[in-house]
A and B are shown apart, each in its own frame.
Chain A
Amino acid sequence: MVQRHSRREFLKITGVAAGGLALAACSSGTSSPAASAGASAPAGSAPAGGSINFLTWSDHFGEAALAAVKEQTGISVNVSELADNIDGFNKLSQVKGQLDLVSGDALWVPKYYDAGLVETIDINSFEVAKQLYPMAREFDFWTKPDGYLAYPWGWSPIQVVYNPKYVTGSPDSWEVMIDPKYAGKVVMENQPTDIMLFAGIATGAKDIYNMTDAELKTAQDWLRKLKPNVYKLVQQNNETVSALASEEAWLGTQNLGAPDRVKDAGGPEVVAMIPKEGTTGFIDGEMTVKEGANKALIKPYLEAAAQAEWVAQNFLDNGRPLLNEKAYKLLVDGGNQDKADRYLYNQPELALKMRLKGPAGNTDAYVSAFNEVFGG
C-alpha cells in the first residue's frame, strides 16, 4: 500500500538528503587537491578584459599581484592548484582547452610540447622579458625552431636539510640519509618518482631519468636502506618544515630557503647542503596552452604580472630564487640583498649545474620499484 506523502514532506526529505550529501562531500576530504579530477572553472568572461585559467603551484602568484593585474588590464585569473608535473600533465591532457596557462618544470616542458599540448612564444617580443637574466631567455632545452617554450619563473635545487644538534659531522653526501644512526628521523615528501631520482643519484646512475634495469635494482637496494630511516612521507612542503621545526625529524629534503622557513616556524637552526653526488632541481616557467580559449590574454597578463615589483614581492613571500634580474636590483635597493644572496638569487648559472627535473622514461617501472620497497 503506497502512502501518499505531502509535498511538504517530500521537499523536507529531499532537502535533508541533499544537505546530508553536501555534508558528506565536505567531510570526505581527500588530502590532495589533485584528486579532484580536474577542470578549473570554465572560462567566464569578465566585464572588461576577460579571464584566464591558470594551473600552477601556489607560489607562482600573489593575491596583491593578481589584484593589481586585474586593475591594470581587466584580466582576472582563475587559479587551480597543481600537485606535481605528472598531475599537471595528466590534467592538461584531459581538459585541454579549458586551461590557458600551465606551469611546468625544466624537462617536462618539452614533453608538453611534444605531446602537442602547448605552443611556443616569441620571448623577445615580451617587454617584460627584458627584465630577465639573459641566460633565462636562452635555455637550450626550451628553445625550438619556432620559438621559446615557456616564460621563465624561478629555480631551486633540492637540498638535504639537517639539524646540526643531532646530525653531527657536517655531512656532505646522500649517504647521511641511510645512516642507521638516524633511524626514524628522516622526513620526505611522498613523491615516488622524485625519491627514485635521489636513489639514482646516490647510487651513481648515469642518466637518472632513464635508468637501466640494473641501475633501478641498485637504486631500489639503496631505498631499502632508506626505508627504516624515514618515519613519515608527507603530502606538502610545509609538513616537512613543521616536522623539522618540532624536531620530530632531524633530516629532510627541501628547496632553497629551508633554514629560514624552519626558523619562521619557530624551529631550531638547521643546515642545508647540496650533496656532493649532485641533486635534482627545477627551473619552472609558464606554458601557453595550445587550445586555450583565452590564449590572446596570456601576453597582456604576463606583461603585467611578471613585472619586477611583483617578482621581488614573491621572492620575499616564498623565498626561492627567481629569474627576473631587475627584481634582484629592487631587492638590493630595498635592503634585502643579504637574503637574496643567501638564496643564490644572483647566481642563476648554478641552475644549469643541477640535474633538471623531467619525466622518467618508464614511470611505471620507477613507481613499481618505489612501491615494492615502501609498499608495506
Chain B
Amino acid sequence: MTAQAGGPVPGLPAEAHAGSRGAALGRLWPFGPAAAVLLFLFFIPLAIVFVYSFWTVQNLQLIPTWTLQNYLKFFQTDTYIRTFLKTIIMAVLVTAAGIGMAFPFAYFLARYVSTRWQRVLLLAVIIPFWSSYLVRVYAWQAILGEKGALNWLLMQVGLISEPLTIFLYNDVGVFIVLTYVYFPFAALSLYSSLEKFDFTQLTAAQDLGATPLRAMRRILLPQVRPGFITAMIFVFIPIIGEYLTPTLVGGTKGVLIGNLIVNFYRGGAFPAMAAASFIIAAFIILLLVLFRRYLQLDDVVTKL
C-alpha cells in the first residue's frame, strides 16, 4: 500500500491543507524523544571523542593541541596496522564460518522441521543470550584449556595422547569463541529470511531441469540475500570492535584492535584511543558505502 504524497485530498475542507508544512513537522514530533536520545547519548559524546582525537595528553591532562599526530602515529606504527588487518581477517573468517554453519541449520529448520519444533529449536539458540556474555565466554576457558573438556574428549577418543595447548590463549581460541558467540545472529537473520521463502519454487526449478544445486543458486540465494546481508552486518561489524573475548581467551597472542584501544583508555591516553577508534569507524563506514548497492534497503524493509 503506497502512501500518497501530501497533495490536496478531494473532499477535505480547505483548512486541512493550510500550513501543510507545519503539519508535516507536527507529524514528526513523536520522534522527539528518540532524536533527543540519539543526540545526547550518541552524537554529542561521539563529537567529544572526535575532538579528543586531535588533542594530546600530558600528565593525564588533555591539552587542546589540534594536531594530526595521533592519526599519523597509528598508521606509522607497524603493530597497529598489523593488528587492525588481523582483526579484519578474523572478522571475515568468523563471518564466513558463522554463516557457513548457520545457513544449513536455518535451511533445515525452515524447510523440514514442523512449526512447533521450529520454535523450540529457535529458543534453544536464543536462550544462551539470557545469560551474561561474560559467563558464556568464561565457560569456554574451561572447555578449551589444557585440562579442559575438549582435550579430555580428544584423549578419550584416542586422537591425541597429550593435551593440546593450541585451543586457548591465542587466535584459535578467539576464533572459536567468536564464532560461537555470533552464531545466533547469523542463524536468526538467515532463518527469518528462509522461513518466508516458498520452497515449492525449488521443486518447480528442478522440474524445469535444474539440478538441486543450480536451483538453490538461481532461485533460493537471490531471494534470501537480505538475510545474508543482515547476517554479515550483525556479525562482521561488531567483531571489528570486539575486545572482551580476546581478553578472556586470546591471551597475549590473540589480541585484536579493540584490546589496543582499551589499553590506551586504561593508560589515560585518550587522544590515541580516540584516533584509533575513529580510524576503525571510518573503515566500517567506507565498507557500508562501497557495498550500499547490495544493501538494497527496500529489500530489508519490505521483507521484514
Contacts and interface: CB of A to CB of B under 8 A. Distances in A.
| Physical contact A–B (CB less than 8 Å) | yes
Interface of A: 1, 23, 26-32, 34, 83-84, 86-87, 89-90, 111, 184, 190-193, 227, 230-233, 235, 246, 248, 359, 361-364, 366-368, 370-376
Contacts of B134: 29, 31
Contact of B267 (A34, A227, A232, A367): A367
Contacts of A374: 252, 255, 263
B129 A86 contact: no
Contacts of A246: 147
A83 B244 contact: no
A83 B268 CA distance: 13
A262 B301 CA distance: 57
A289 B83 CA distance: 41
B80 A26 contact: no
A370 B131 CA distance: 34
Interface in B94-140: 129-134
**Size class of B's contact patch?**
35 or more
A231 B169 contact: yes
A90 B244 CA distance: 22
Interface stretch (B9-17, B51-59, B153-161, B189-197): B51-59
A87 B252 contact: no
Interface string B235-273: 000000000100110011101110110011011110110
Contact of B73 (A26, A368, A375): A368
B1 interface: yes
Q: Sorted from nearest, which 10 A-B pairs have the closest CB atoms?
A: A367-B267, A376-B83, A375-B79, A376-B255, A29-B134, A232-B251, A367-B269, A86-B268, A364-B269, A372-B79
B257 A376 contact: yes
B266 A27 contact: no
Contacts of A111: 59-60
A13 to B, nearest CB: 14
A184 B56 contact: no
A103 B169 CA distance: 34
**Among B79, B132, B267, which residue has the most Cβ atoms of chain A within 10 A?**
B267
B91 to A, nearest CB: 14
B133 A363 contact: no
A367 B272 contact: yes
A190 B169 CA distance: 14
Contact of A26 (B1, B60, B132): B132
Nearest to B84: A376
A246 to B, nearest CB: 7
A374 B129 CA distance: 31
B265 to A, nearest CB: 8
A137 to B, nearest CB: 28
B226 interface: no
Given A87-B266, A232-B252, A376 B259 contact: yes
Contacts, number: 121
A361 B259 contact: no
B86 interface: yes
Contacts of B255: 374-376
A227 B60 contact: no
A374 B253 CA distance: 8
A337 B165 CA distance: 43
Contacts of A232: 169, 251-252
Contacts of A376: 79, 82-83, 86, 255-257, 259-260
Contacts of A375: 77, 79-80, 82-83, 255, 259-260
A371 B263 contact: yes
Contacts of A368: 73, 77, 269, 272
B128 to A, nearest CB: 10
Contact of A362 (B58, B130, B264): B58
Give the most central of B146, B165, B255, B269: most A CB within 10 Å.
Answer: B269
Contacts of B184: none
B227 interface: no
B182 to A, nearest CB: 14
Given A86-B266, A230-B251, 20 more contacts: A23-B130, A30-B244, A32-B266, A83-B266, A86-B268, A87-B266, A111-B59, A191-B266, A230-B252, A232-B251, A233-B247, A233-B252, A364-B272, A367-B263, A367-B272, A371-B260, A375-B259, A376-B79, A376-B83, A376-B260
Contact of A27 (B80, B130, B271, B272): B130
Nearest to B247: A31
Contacts of A371: 79-80, 260, 263-264
B60 A89 contact: yes
B60 to A, nearest CB: 6
Given A27-B133, A231-B251, A372 B267 contact: no
Contacts of A362: 58-59
A27 B79 contact: no
Given A23-B130, A31-B244, A230-B252, A184 B267 contact: no
Given A1-B1, A363-B57, A363-B269, A248 B145 contact: yes
